Structure 1
Amino acid sequence: MVLLNTTIAGYEFDNCLMNAAGVCCYDHEELTMVDQSSAGTFVTKSATKTSREGNPLPRYQAVPLGSINSMGLPNLGLDYYLDYVRQLEKQTKKTYFLSMTGLSKEETLEMLKQVELSDFKGMVELNLSCPNVPGKPQLAYDLPTTENLLTEVFAFFTKPLGVKLPPYFDIAHFDAAAEVYNKFPLAFVNCVNSIGNGLIINDETVVIKPKNGFGGIGGDYIKPTALANVHAFYQRLKPSIKIIGTGGVKTGRDVFEHILCGASMVQVGTALEKEGVEIFARLSQELTEIMQEKGYQTIEDFRGKLQYLA
């Protein structure tokens, strides 16, 4: 019997698959679809303190090998998502991920204090990697500022918290980032958000409006980068910090490779946007078949056991 269950921070999930923040998570209707699918749980849209309309349209474009987006954090505000997941927790007894990202350090701390004082029992994903808000750099590329923020956060925050990371591209950056993250009681790191500020052209024109066409790249384009980040942090982070793998997942083989690189959970973004929540049942079946062929009964049988050439 093959099991796809997994554990993060002591919380058990019956399936290691879920959505990625930004896809099928904007409102109650979308989140309910994920909750009622084969996914193990869901993560909400990255919330700011108050609602945001986001960047002007068109701001998302599917392309043959993935997608480009410059959404600009459109969301319904922290209160909306916090109220929803708190109500759902009481009905389902499941564990959910609440994603958030402040537009300033003060806003981030204010939101986390609100969650700390609430009866929310799930996990927080602090998004340190949004590349699509004009004038706002990705915080996780500034490691001293990231360390200062996390120091202030964990001075009062006691609930399970992880961070959504941008892709890092240099071995020295993996080393330096892991040194910072290992200083804190993080529940997980999520590798990776989209590759920031790519450019896709149709004939002679960019395909999205914000930032003159610059946007985050997802899908097939980013899978090798995502796998590298998952494995690099699996090698460097203390065992208590689990890895969530995100990027380029559209087949069961992609899920298998993320887990092989060290992921305890795998999020689906671009492919979920294209296929809908039915993708979770398909990916689960394809992963199950791979595990059966290889004689694996649980994902722990092969998680992190990537082999190297002699």
Structure 2
Amino acid sequence: MAAAVSLATSIAGVSLSSCLYNASGPLCTTAEELDAIGNSEAGAILSKSATLEKRAGNPEPRYFETPWGSINSMGLPNEGFQYYLDYASRAEAFAKPYIMSISGLSHQDNVDMIKALAGQKHIAAIELNLSCPNVPGKPQTGYDFEQSRALLQRVFEHVSLPLGVKLPPYFDLPHFDMMAAVLNDYPLAFVTCVNSIGNGLVIDPESESVVIKPKSGFGGIGGDFIKPTALANVRKFYTLLNKDIAIIGCGGVKSGLDAFEHILCGASAVQIGTQFMREGTTCFSRIARELGEIMQQKGYADITSFQGKLRSLD
């Protein structure tokens, strides 16, 4: 009989029974959706990215699935910061970490939310979203290195909980170095790599039109197509960041093998987005089973046995 393997992990001292959990975005907006994640085999519950006030988001249709993934321009629809803060006590019933994602529409909004989260005992960590590409007129903070530094400088004056950031994908090697130089100056708990690839375009050739309404059809790309980019970002930041900053992989994860590759690149945990939208909460148990089978075949007892041990061709 094969020995049991452990998918447990720890991020900034926060223990997760499984290294797999949801990405902020799909199916995590309402209390009922968050309850479903709590009742699943996900290792944590991550809220929808909260703005200070409730938002309806962009006009529909704003999400479209393709054989290789998805395109979306949701525009941060959410129930507002106080809603997700109030949910924290309800999340206690699931005995797994509840992580709040926040995405203020201004630096001051983010500072105000961070201040309000000080000392909240039911919240395990905060994920500060620097990378939403789908709010018209709002550039991604993560692509402006000085603005990123200015925001982190302000929020870390008020942080009392483990704080991580969700980053956009980077493509130019000097940009990895530039962002790492910013992030290494602050006591971050984790970095999530990556959000969707911003401003792709999907066309329906039959109708000769775009498939989503906002921004003339431009939207964030997720799914299979972004996995190589996500893996590159996980790997590069794993090599560049201070070793006490955990890396959370996100992008193109629909199987245990995909999760294995993210961890091999250096991820301490793996978020699931597009596949969660497609499959629902059963994806967490299925992908965990597949990842466990790969680990058994390779003789790995836990994820630290192979985390970050990607080999180069010398």
187, 197, 214: which one pairs with 2:199?
197
235, 238, 247: which one pairs with 2:239?
235
Structural RMSD (CA): 0.9
**Alignment-derived partner of residue 109 in structure 2:** 107
Going from structure 1 to structure 2, the CA distance change for 1:109 and 1:3 (only over 3 Å counts) comes to: same
Q: Which moved more, 1:115-124 or 1:67-76?
A: 115-124
**Alignment-derived partner of residue 72 in structure 1:** 75
Distance between the aligned counterparts of 2:119 and 2:53, measured in 1? Answer: 18
Distance between the aligned counterparts of 1:192 and 1:208, measured in 2? Answer: 22
**Alignment-derived partner of residue 14 in structure 1:** 17
Calculate the TM-score normalised by the size of structure 1: 0.98
Which amino acid in 2 is paired with 1:167? P
**Alignment-derived partner of residue 146 in structure 1:** 148
1:204-215 equivalences under 5 Å are 204-215=208-219
Distance between the aligned counterparts of 1:197 and 1:190, measured in 2? Answer: 20
1:75-94 equivalences under 5 Å are 75-89=78-92, 91-94=93-96
285, 289, 294: which one pairs with 1:285?
289
Aligned-pair CA distance for 1:117: 5.0
Which amino acid in 2 is paired with 1:304? G
Residues 279-306 of structure 1: per-residue CA shift (max 9 Å, x gap): 1111011000100000000000000000
Which amino acid in 2 is paired with 1:232? K
Residues 98, 122 of structure 2: 8 Å contact kept: no
* Alignment coverage as a number of residue pairs: 309
Aligned-pair CA distance for 1:118: 3.7
Distance between the aligned counterparts of 1:87 and 1:30, measured in 2? Answer: 13
Distance between the aligned counterparts of 1:274 and 1:40, measured in 2? Answer: 19
**Alignment-derived partner of residue 25 in structure 1:** 28
Residues 173-214 of structure 1: per-residue CA shift (max 9 Å, x gap): 011100100000000000000000000000111000000000
Task: Point out where structure 2 has 5 or more consecutive residues left out of the alignment.
Answer: none
Aligned-pair CA distance for 1:131: 0.2
284, 309, 313: which one pairs with 1:305?
309
Aligned-pair CA distance for 1:86: 2.8
Aligned-pair CA distance for 1:102: 0.5
What secondary structure sits across from 2:127 in the alignment? Answer: strand
Which amino acid in 1 is paired with 2:12? A
What secondary structure sits across from 2:198 in the alignment? Answer: strand
1:181-192 equivalences under 5 Å are 181-192=183-194
Distance between the aligned counterparts of 1:119 and 1:264, measured in 2? Answer: 23
Percent identical pairs in the alignment equals: 57
1:42 aligns with 2:45: yes
1:128-277 equivalences under 5 Å are 128-203=130-205, 204-277=208-281
**Alignment-derived partner of residue 116 in structure 1:** 118
Task: Point out where structure 1 has 5 or more consecutive residues left out of the alignment.
Answer: none
Which amino acid in 2 is paired with 1:266? V
What secondary structure sits across from 2:45 in the alignment? Answer: coil
Distance between the aligned counterparts of 2:94 and 2:200, measured in 1? Answer: 40
What secondary structure sits across from 2:134 in the alignment? Answer: coil
Aligned-pair CA distance for 1:114: 0.7
Residues 119, 161 of structure 2: 8 Å contact kept: no
Distance between the aligned counterparts of 2:264 and 2:25, measured in 1? Answer: 25
